[in-house]
Structure 1
């Protein structure tokens, strides 16, 4: 056994119903006095409630999916105008991503308060969209200093969106098993993440107002993000970044649709990963486990249902081949990726 594993410096507060107290303690430990709160309009009530005791100098609600460059510039300008010394992001991946865009150029620390299972809060990965192209990168400056996990803040997330967001987290786990920097530690994190998510997400759908399922899902999402942060971006995420930037597709739902096709594409060429996933799902095969979970969650099935045009398949396939990791388990060729995308666009059985 021989590997190099990078552990990220970050504090995690995990307690249902204690977001305000945890956030206050974290801001105090940073010595911050001028807080800029980033939260979309949909999270306004939650944001005001959990930050009511903080020295807030600006509340920024200009949040857009995939973080367009012009949106990032407006947030950076606001941070400078209000002389903010810390960013508090409250929301899903788009909100965390906007805070990261500000931190990337300013160096301001972030305290993240997730309300979905996106996982961006636990990674040093940033992403910006300009035109139809999404650019991603990795920088320690954008890694939140701390995360405040409070499952009660996810209660307002509808079951359907919880399912899509949770499957995005499952995708982090799956991709981490064969991503460029996969190692035994992030494989272990990914396996436990899958176990927690396949346990918690059906509970969320069945009892959306109960906390136990949401706590399991949030715990699994954190583990999935840790695994992804260490292992790097595999084929699945390269595909979804291309599709999201090129066609402005909803982030979580795109991951939920694409995942079974990538698993079918790579699974037979990565038998150890497939076996580990099957064990985590508690099923004879990983594909069977994922299919069962998707059925329980009534997951989205086809890219065309998300708004992707059929005429975009060819250009997307070319972009995916150009961005794909060189050491993907199955050879990434233009015909193979074109077939994968067409099948996912149709929502046909993965092959």
Structure 2
């Protein structure tokens, strides 16, 4: 066995049906007395529900989170934080709400108690992202990692079918890239395989039976694992491309992950044999067709499989390839602009990766 380094990041996870109602007790354990509940405008009612459970420990609701965490939204949030003398943050929702809370924590060092309602996994990571001047920048800081996460599968029941699938594919992407991370280790790899298995098997069941809390619990379990993988080891080409496409061209975050995943895996397949073998067992495909199987899964679940479908313009592909290769980063296969441009062309038209043939 090769040498490896494994570091565990402290986190408290409360998982189960209706555990959201215990949010006050969890906030008290963090010492929070003046919490700000953070959400998108669309989830303001849910945010108000959480505020009700918190009682006098909540001093306000900030329902202004939007995707990609633009600097303008952070500035507005900081004004509210100062006005209300906030001492803790309770984001309710998906990556937009949790992302805004992280950005506020980056400036204030306030503890975060996260209540996710999608399968994106941001709640388990110390990774932050902020969009400014048309560019999305990301970084890591343990300060922004939520101290406590409440996973309540009942909160995902009203998640629209498309977002159910795309946020689930986002979580699968965390696991898939974790398997070929530069600092991969056996513990995280086991979590990654388990996460892919849980998500790929539960998403079809959720679409068939939206009220199936067992299937939703399984997907949320996979989300927890995917988020843990994302927060524990480095990511590579897939996540870099998604940050470029989302931040620079304002593409929907989960849709972008869903579209790009098969092509990023295809690009790396010949340079990451262990990852392909492990992923194939998790999703039940041939090792030389993991990319194609992921494409088939997305297509069978009725979500977009091309960049064109989610609003990307062909004339922007050259620029996107240039931005994505401008700064060096780890990837199992060397990154070059022509190769990434070819990947983006396949992704733009939504052509299935070819089994046994490298991109």
- What is the TM-score with the length of structure 1 in the denominator? 0.96
Question: Is the 2:259–2:306 Cα contact (8 Å) retained in structure 1?
Answer: yes
Q: CA deviation at 1:87?
A: 0.4
Large movers: runs of 4+ above 4 Å: none
Deviations 1:65-89 (A, max 9, x none): 1000111111112111111111000
Note the alpha carbon deviations across 1:267-304, whole angstroms, 9 max, x for none: 12211110000111122232353234223312311111
CA contact (8 A) 1:39 1:90 kept: yes
| CA-to-aligned-CA distance 1:314-351 (integer Å, 9 cap, x gap) | 1110111124523x222211110000011101112224
Distance 1:201 1:268 in 2: 28
Structure 2 counterparts to residues 275-314 of structure 1, below 5 A: 275-285=277-287, 286-314=290-318
**Deviation digits for residues 240-286 of structure 1 (CA, Å, limit 9, x no counterpart):** 00001110000000000000001111112211110000111122232
Instruction: Indicate the larger mover: 165-174 or 329-338.
Output: 329-338
Task: Identify unmatched segments of 5+ residues in structure 1.
Answer: none
Q: Secondary structure of 2:128's partner?
A: strand
1:193-232 alignment to 2 at 5 Å?
Answer: 193-232=195-234
Spell out, residue by residue over 1:206-226, the C-alpha distance to the aligned partner (whole angstroms, 9 max, x if none). 111221111111110110111
Matched, 1:11 2:5: no
The question of whether the paired residues in 2 share the 8 Å contact of 1:238 and 1:323 is answered with: no
Please, which moves more after superposition, 39-48 or 106-115?
39-48
Aligned equivalents of 1:208 and 1:11: distance in 2? 28
Measured in 1, the distance between the counterparts of 2:142 and 2:232 equals 12
- Paired residues of 1:20 and 1:51 also in contact (CA < 8 A): no
Distance in 2, Cα, partners of 1:268 & 1:239: 19
Q: Is 177-186 or 5-14 further displaced after alignment? A: 177-186
1:27 partnered with 2:27 = yes
CA RMSD of aligned residues (A): 1.3
Tell me, yes or no, if the aligned pair for 1:304 and 1:345 is still in contact at 8 Å.
Answer: yes
How far apart in 2 are the matches of 1:180 and 1:78? 40
Equivalent position of 2:132 in the other structure: 130
Paired residues of 2:307 and 2:349 also in contact (CA < 8 A): yes
Partner of 1:157: 159
Q: Could you tell me which residue of structure 2 aligns to residue 329 of structure 1?
A: 332
Q: Is the 8 A contact 2:47 2:61 kept in 1?
A: no
1:113 match: secondary structure: strand
SS in 2 for 1:6: coil
Contact 1:66 1:245 in 2 (8 A): yes
Give me the TM-score of the superposition, normalised by structure 2: 0.94
